[in-house]
Structure 1
Amino acid sequence: MGLDERREREKVYQPAEDSHLLATAARDEAAPTDRTLDVGTGSGYVATAMAETGATVYGVDPNPHACRQARENGIRVVQGDLTEPFGDGVFDLVTFNPPYLPTTPEEAVDDWMEVALAGGESGRAVIEPFLAGVGRVLTPEGRVLMLVSSLSGFDTVVELANEAGFTATTVDQDSFPFETLSILRLDHE
C-alpha cells in the first residue's frame, strides 16, 4: 500500500467490531430479491456483506473519500446525507452504523474520521434525524438494521424508534469493556 492510498484510508472509517456485528446481521437478513441501502457506508464493508446474498445494494456517505473507497469495493454509492438522496418507498432493507461516540460542543469535528465517529453530546445527533427520515425510503414491508451502542443510550434509541413508528427488536449483541453493541431490527408498526 502506497503513501497516498494509506492517507486515503485514514480518511474513511475502516471495519471494526461494530462493523462486523452489523455486517453479520445484514448478511443474515438480506434476501436475494431485496433492494438494500447501507447508510454511512464508509469503506462499503456492510454493503459488501449484503451483496454476497445477491441483494441489490446501494451505499450513501457524505464523505467523498468513503464514496471512492466503496466504489473501489464494487458498491454503487451516492455522496449524500443519510437517506435524503433517495426516493420514497424504494428499499426493502436499510442498514446503518451511525456515529455514536458522545462528543462535547468544544470538541471540533474538523476531519472526516471525526465526522464518522462523533455523535454529539448524547451520542444521538445523527441517530435522531436518521430515525425521523428512514421510514420514507422503506417499502411497506421494509425493515432497518441499526447498530446501537450503550454509549448513546440504548433505551432512548428504542423510544425514538417507537416514536418514529417502528417496533424494535434486538437481533444480536456483543459486550466490550467500555460498551455494549446491539443490532436493532426496526419494523413498521
Structure 2
Amino acid sequence: MKLLKPPGVYAPQEDTAMLIAALRREHLSPQAHVLDVGTGTGAVAIAAAHHGAARVVAIDTSAVAVLTTRLNALLSGHARAIRVSRGDLTEPVTGLRFDLVLANPPYVPSAEVPMAGRGAARAWEAGVDGRAVIDELCANVPALLRPKGVLLVVHSVMSNPAMTVARLTEAGLDATVTERRFVPFGPVLRERADWLETQGLIEHGQEKEELVVIRAEQP
C-alpha cells in the first residue's frame, strides 16, 4: 500500500525494508503483542499487523509521525490493531511485555547532539559514535520481552553491531547478526562523507554503507 509520507517524517528506506523482511521471517502467535519503536510513517507497525500480530504498539517522539502513523493505520485497515503513542523510546510502555520488539533507531554518526535536530533529522542523528539511541535500547528492551520474546533491530556497521550484540548478550539475550546488506549512500551520508572519513568510519571514496539486522531472543 502507499503510505502518507509528510515532510519531517522519516520515509521508509532500505533499512525499513530489511526490518520488515526480518519481521516476516518470525512466527507470530494469534495473540502476539508487538512493539515498534520509532515508528515514523508506521510502515513497520502496519507490516506487523498484516503479519498477524494481535496488538501493535507504535511509538515515536514526533507528533507529526504519531499522526501520520494513525492515518496510515486507518488507510491500511489495521487501525483497530495498532495503538500509537508519543514518547521517548520505550518510556510509554514501561512495565509492559511484548513477544516482538522492532526498532529502526537513529544510527548515523554525527557531530551534532542527538535529538537536537528538527523534523526528520531526529530519525538519524545519533552522536559521534552513532550509538546514543542504540545503547539506550540495549539497556531497556530486555525487560520488555516476554520469555522467548524477540528483538529485531537494524542499524549501520558504522555504529558497531558487535557492540550491540555484546550488550544484548550481557543483558541475557541470545543475540546475533542475521542479515547484512550494502546500500548506496543517501543524501545525509554523502553530505558528511568527509567528516565520516576523518573519524575513520569510512574509507576514502566509499559510496556504500553496510546495514545489518540483529536478532536477540529472551530465554
Residue aligning to 2:138: 131
Contact kept? 1:44, 1:69, Cα under 8 Å: yes
Determine which of 18, 36, 39 is the counterpart of 2:37: 39
Contact preservation (8 Å) 1:89, 1:139: no
Displacement of 1:107 in angstroms is 8.8
Instruction: Give the match for residue 62 of structure 1.
Output: 61
| Matched ranges for 1:51-90 at <5 A | 51-55=49-53, 56-74=55-73, 75-90=82-97
Aligned residue in 1 for 2:213: 183
Paired residues in the alignment total 183
Aligned to 1:3: none
How far 1:26 moved relative to its partner?
A: 1.1
Change (3 A) 1:89 1:108: closer
Task: Deviation per CA, 1:64-84: give whole Å up to 9, x if none.
Answer: 100000001114210011111
User: Do the aligned partners of 2:115 and 2:125 also contact (CA within 8 Å) in 1?
Assistant: no
Deviations along 1:144-172, one digit per CA (max 9) or x if unpaired, are: 00002101012122122222222212222
SS at 1:29 equivalent: coil
Aligned pair partner of 1:101 in 108, 111, 120: 108
Match of 1:21? 18
Corresponding position: 1:159 with 2:166: yes
Structure 2 vs 1, CA of residues 16 and 159 (structure 1 numbering), >3 Å: closer, same or farther? same
Q: Which amino acid aligns with 1:97?
A: N
Q: Aligned AA for 2:8?
A: K
Q: Which one has the largest radius of gyration?
A: 2
Output the CA distance in 1 between the equivalents of 2:87 and 2:178: 28
Structure 1 match to 2:196: none
Alpha-carbon distance in structure 2 between the residues aligned to 1:104 and 1:132: 23
Where does the alignment leave 5 or more consecutive residues of structure 1 unmatched?
1-5
Is the 8 Å Cα contact of residues 15 and 154 (structure 2) preserved in structure 1?
yes
Contact conserved, 1:167 with 1:188, CA < 8 A, in 2?
Answer: yes
Q: Percent identity?
A: 38
Tell me the alpha carbon deviations over residues 44-69 of structure 1, each in whole angstroms, 9 at most, x when there is no partner. 01111111122021100111100000
**What's the counterpart of residue 46 of structure 2?**
48
Structure 2 runs not aligned, ≥5 long:
74-81, 184-206
Report the more deviating stretch, 138-147 or 100-109: 100-109
> CA separation of 1:108/1:140 partners in 2, compared to 1, >3 Å: closer, same or farther?
closer
Using the size of structure 2 for normalisation, the TM-score is 0.77
- Give the deviation of 1:102 after TM superposition: 0.2
State the alpha-carbon separation in 2 of the partners of residues 112 and 131 from structure 1.
Answer: 25
Residues 133 and 149 of structure 1: CA distance in aligned 2, closer, same or farther (over 3 Å) = same
Alpha-carbon spacing, 1:107–1:77, altered in 2? closer, same or farther (3 Å)? closer
